[in-house]
């Protein structure tokens, strides 16, 4: 392994070599520009990674996604050229003009860059019968993106000889099977200065450990297929931004892993592994500050499975989120949809509290509401008010089936559609899951129910709105909620120099309602997999000219098909969920208290 550390200051002119070119940029250099996606850690509006594309498919995919490429990797097999691609939504901090091309000699890459006033940021070179060819991505070499750049091709010794205290590499690629490398260098001056490292022909774990030791992160990572070693370029990571590099897996596996971690893949490589193709990726944190805090709270406590959270202001923006559009088994959390159907039907006069509800129960344990009602034939009767209240406060599965039976599944799903729950399905009576009949929803869909209530989409009568809240778990009938949340209020009031009396008055004005759900698949209270989820609505008392003007926030989470090895591990995640909600709401509590 070859390693080079440089503290770099300025740009040098270039002379001689197997291939050498220097291009002067526009005069102003203003730090990292939007084209430098590998150096930007702002959350993106979306990202993608693809494999085995033709160049035509590649360009169409970018156009369809309104994306721009961040990395390209070439695979040549049996005469066919295919591409792996990483891309980011071309918006926000990442919005930039771009250019992508393939089949170019290194000299042609330089010529095109000069003619277009662009500069290459990454490229991948490969041997052909006509000589080496490269695929490249370029950005405009102007404004905040402006930097002098050089391209070299030759032995690694030759390229290494061109390192000075005034430049740094952005890409290092080996021509597969040959003793030739190609590298892009840029100026490393002023606000563009970055301490950097590079590694050649090392093991994947060895390189990663070395990078971590230097508190840096990898920006370019490629494999030498014949020697099964790796090359990398790494930059200092003073912000301690979380990043990962993974290899030896399918691309779909690596994409799903990055999504679960709230990461953005910006570097992707394909390589042969026996009769299959494996992939390596590099990713960086793609979450905002609040999401990063919540994910950091939860991730160490989630051993496996799928999970996510969503914190969204009603009528406003998303404050924090991780995988809010992924479908999961909601268990009893979905009962809020049944409750919404019940109260809207009663407000309309279609149904009434006194309407009879038939329910199935276990004759040997007639008050057990945790049963699967499908398993028992004894039938009892109650009324709609009792069934609805018990469904929402005690999470009684017996009455839940009775409510669904009264309305019918088509009518319940029609209500879901009306609310905008586009990913919700009902495949079993709640409490009765099987391996083939899971229910499904998303946090986005649950948000639609709570937002429907908060916005008075259907429930416009104040008395029925009060019943919707009062029949659910809320701040008045669930003391544990205020005990936890008021501790947050007290801490934030102290930080703002607000009096204890103000903190108490503020806390007394918080409104909250929620419905959670839990399944355990198997008889072992510790190791059997679980599906946990929750949805809630918090109304905080902001003041305008001394008058309370409420802002409402949906918070939901899910942990689907998670299994534990110890009881302590299970408890730790349960406790982390409460702390994560407090992390989410804390900033909004602070903002609201500031108006008091």
CB 441 within 8 A of CB 423: yes
pLDDT band, residue 94 (cuts 50/70/90): very high
DSSP 410-456: HHHHHHHHHHT-TT-B--S-TT---TT---BB-HHHHHHHHHHHHTT
Q: Determine, yes or no, domain membership for 214.
A: yes
Contacts of 151 (CB under 8 A, 6+ apart): 19, 20, 21, 106, 109, 110, 120, 182, 183, 184, 185
Q: How far is residue 545's CA from residue 97's CA, in Å, rounded to a whole number?
A: 47
pLDDT of residue 25: 44
**pLDDT value at 18 more than 80:** no
- The domain total for the chain is 2
Contact between residue 49 and residue 253 where contact means Cβ atoms under 8 Å apart: no
Residue 79 has a pLDDT of 81
Strand ranges in 453-529 using DSSP code E only, listed in sequence order: 473-474, 511-520
What separation in angstroms does the CA of 56 have from each of 139, 265, 408, 439? 20, 22, 49, 40
Query: Is 112 domain-assigned?
Result: yes
Note whether residue 386 is domain-resident.
no
Say yes or no: 191 and 105 in one domain.
yes
Rounded (to 5) percent helix, strand, coil in the chain: 35, 35, 30
The pLDDT > 90 percentage for the chain reads 92
- Directed axis angle between helix 443-454 and helix 335-347, to 10°? 30
Residue 551 CB-half CA count within 13 A: 18
Domain-located, residue 116: yes
Same structural domain for residues 317 and 205?
Answer: no
Query: Domain for residue 36, yes or no?
Result: yes
Range list of H helices, 55-131: 55-65, 106-116
* Residue 1 pLDDT exceeds 60: no
Q: What is residue 471's three-state secondary structure?
A: coil
Distance (Å, rounded) from C-alpha 32 to C-alpha 38?
10
66 with 127, same domain: the answer is yes
Question: Does some domain include residue 176?
Answer: yes
Average pLDDT over residues 197-223: 96
Please report the pLDDT score of residue 11 as a whole number.
24
The pLDDT tens digits of the residues spanning 522-581 come to 999 999 999 999 999 999 999 999 999 999 999 999 999 999 999 999 999 999 999 999
pLDDT value for 189: 85
Residue-number span of the structural domain to which 482 is assigned: 293-352+424-593
Mean pLDDT of the chain: 93
CA dist., res. 321 & res. 209, Å (int)? 30
Are both 576 and 510 inside the same structural domain?
yes
How many angstroms separate the CA atoms of 217 and 1, rounded? Answer: 17
Residue 310: phi and psi, rounded to 5, are -155, 120
For residue 198, the model assigns a pLDDT of 96
Encode pLDDT of 362-389 as tens digits.
999 999 999 999 999 999 999 999 999 9
- What is the mean predicted confidence (pLDDT) over 457-468? 97
pLDDT in tens, 407-444: 999 999 999 999 999 999 999 999 999 989 999 999 99
The reply to whether 15 and 100 lie within a common domain is yes
Q: Which of 208, 225, 240 is the last residue of a domain?
A: 240
Sheet holding 181-187, edge to edge: 20-23, 149-154, 181-187, 167-174
Q: What is the pLDDT of residues 103-161, one digit of tens each?
A: 999 999 999 999 999 999 999 999 999 999 999 999 999 998 999 999 999 999 999 99
Inform me whether the pLDDT recorded for 16 exceeds 60: no
Distances from the Cα of 112 to the Cαs of 13, 414, 570, in angstroms?
A: 20, 57, 58
Same domain as 217, residue 107: yes
Identify whether the C-beta of residue 516 lies closer than 8 Å to the C-beta of residue 510: no
What integer pLDDT is reported at residue 28 of this predicted model? 38
Looking at the fold, whether 170 and 25 belong to one and the same domain comes out as yes
Give me the residues paired with residue 67 across strands: 89
Determine the number of helices (DSSP H) and then strands (DSSP E) in the chain: 15, 25
Cβ contact 376:431 at 8 Å: no
Return the minimum-mean-pLDDT range out of 6-20, 66-80, 135-149, 468-482. Answer: 6-20
pLDDT of residue 38: 93
Q: Is the pLDDT of residue 490 over 90?
A: yes
DSSP 8-class letter at 325: T
CB 400 within 8 A of CB 338: yes
- Same domain? For 319 and 171 the reply is no
Domain boundary among 222, 240, 258: 240
Q: How far apart are CA 501 and CA 338, in angstroms?
A: 39
pLDDT: which is higher, 11 or 152: 152
Q: Coil, strand, or helix at residue 161?
A: helix
Verify that 189 and 307 share a domain, yes or no: no
- Res. 398: pLDDT tops 50: yes
CA 160 to chain centre: 38
**370 assigned to some structural domain:** no
| pLDDT-derived band at 404, boundaries 50, 70, 90 | very high
pLDDT confidence bin for 31, thresholds 50/70/90: low
pLDDT at res. 157: 95
**Phi, psi (rounded to 5 degrees) for 451:** -70, -40
101/232 same-domain check: yes
Residue 27 forms part of a structural domain: yes
The confidence band for 29, taking pLDDT boundaries of 50, 70 and 90, is very low
CA distance 176 to 343: 67
- Statement to judge: residues 341 and 197 lie in one domain: no
Residues 177 and 316 in one domain: no
pLDDT tier, 191 (very low <50, low <70, confident <90, very high otherwise) = confident
284 beta partners: 243, 264
Residue matched to tokens 């291009």: 23
Residue 543: what pLDDT?
A: 97
18 φ/ψ angles, rounded to the nearest 5 degrees: -60, -40
């Amino acid at each position: 392994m070859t390693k080079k550390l440089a503290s770099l200051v300025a740009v040098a002119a270039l002379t001689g070599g197997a291939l050498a070119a220097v291009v002067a940029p526009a005069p102003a250099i203003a730090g990292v520009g939007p084209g430098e996606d590998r150096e930007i850690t702002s959350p993106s509006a979306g990202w993608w990674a693809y494999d085995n594309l033709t160049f035509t498919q590649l360009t169409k995919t970018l156009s369809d996604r309104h994306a721009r490429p961040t990395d390209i990797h070439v695979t040549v097999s049996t005469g066919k050229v295919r591409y792996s691609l990483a891309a980011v939504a071309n918006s926000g901090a990442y919005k930039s003009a771009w250019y992508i091309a393939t089949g170019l000699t290194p000299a042609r890459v330089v010529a095109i860059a000069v003619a277009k006033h662009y500069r290459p940021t990454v490229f991948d070179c490969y041997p052909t019968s006509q000589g080496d060819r490269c695929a490249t991505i370029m950005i405009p070499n102007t404004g905040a993106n402006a930097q002098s750049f050089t391209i070299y091709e030759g032995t690694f010794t030759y390229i290494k000889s061109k390192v000075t205290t005034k430049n740094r590499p952005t890409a290092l690629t080996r021509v597969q099977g040959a003793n030739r490398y190609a590298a892009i260098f840029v100026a490393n001056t002023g606000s563009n200065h970055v301490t950097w490292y590079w590694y050649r022909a090392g093991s994947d774990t060895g390189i990663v450990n070395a990078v971590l030791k230097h508190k840096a992160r990898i920006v370019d990572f490629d494999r030498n297929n014949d020697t099964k070693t790796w090359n990398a370029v790494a930059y200092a990571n003073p912000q301690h931004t979380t990043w990962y590099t993974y290899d030896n897996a399918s691309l779909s596996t690596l994409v799903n892993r990055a999504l679960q971690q709230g990461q953005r893949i910006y570097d992707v490589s394909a390589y042969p592994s026996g009769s299959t193709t494996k992939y390596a990726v590099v990713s960086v944190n793609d979450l905002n500050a609040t999401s990063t805090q919540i994910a950091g709270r939860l991730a160490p406590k989630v051993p496996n499975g799928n999970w996510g959270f969503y914190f969204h202001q009603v009528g406003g923006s998303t404050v924090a989120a991780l995988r809010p559009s992924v479908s999961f088994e909601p268990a009893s959390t979905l009962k809020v949809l049944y409750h919404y159907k019940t109260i809207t039907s009663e407000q309309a006069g279609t149904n009434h509290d006194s309407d009879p509800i038939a329910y199935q129960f276990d004759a040997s344990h007639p008050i057990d509401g945790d049963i699967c009602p499908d398993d028992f034939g004894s039938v009892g009767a109650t009324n709609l008010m009792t069934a609805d209240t018990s469904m929402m406060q005690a999470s009684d599965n017996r009455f839940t089936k009775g409510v669904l039976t009264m309305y019918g599944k088509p009518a319940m799903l029609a209500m879901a559609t009306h609310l905008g729950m586009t990913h919700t399905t009902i495949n079993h009576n709640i409490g009765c899951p099987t391996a083939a009949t899971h229910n499904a929803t998303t946090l986005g869909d649950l948000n639609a129910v709570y937002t429907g209530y908060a916005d008075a989409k259907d429930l416009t009568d104040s008395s029925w709105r009060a019943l919707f809240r009062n029949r659910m778990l809320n701040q008045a009938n669930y003391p544990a909620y205020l005990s936890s949340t008021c501790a947050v209020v007290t801490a934030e009031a102290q930080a703002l120099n607000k009096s204890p009396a103000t903190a108490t008055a503020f806390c007394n004005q918080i409104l909250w309602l929620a419905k959670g759900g839990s399944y355990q698949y198997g008889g072992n209270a510790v190791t059997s997999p679980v599906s946990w989820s929750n949805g809630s609505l918090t109304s905080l008392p902001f003041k305008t000219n001394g008058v309370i003007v409420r802002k409402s926030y949906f918070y939901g989470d899910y942990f689907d098909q998670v299994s534990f090895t110890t009881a302590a591990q299970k408890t730790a995640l349960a406790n982390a969920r409460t702390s994560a909600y407090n992390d989410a709401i804390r900033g909004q509590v602070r903002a609201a208290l500031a108006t008091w």
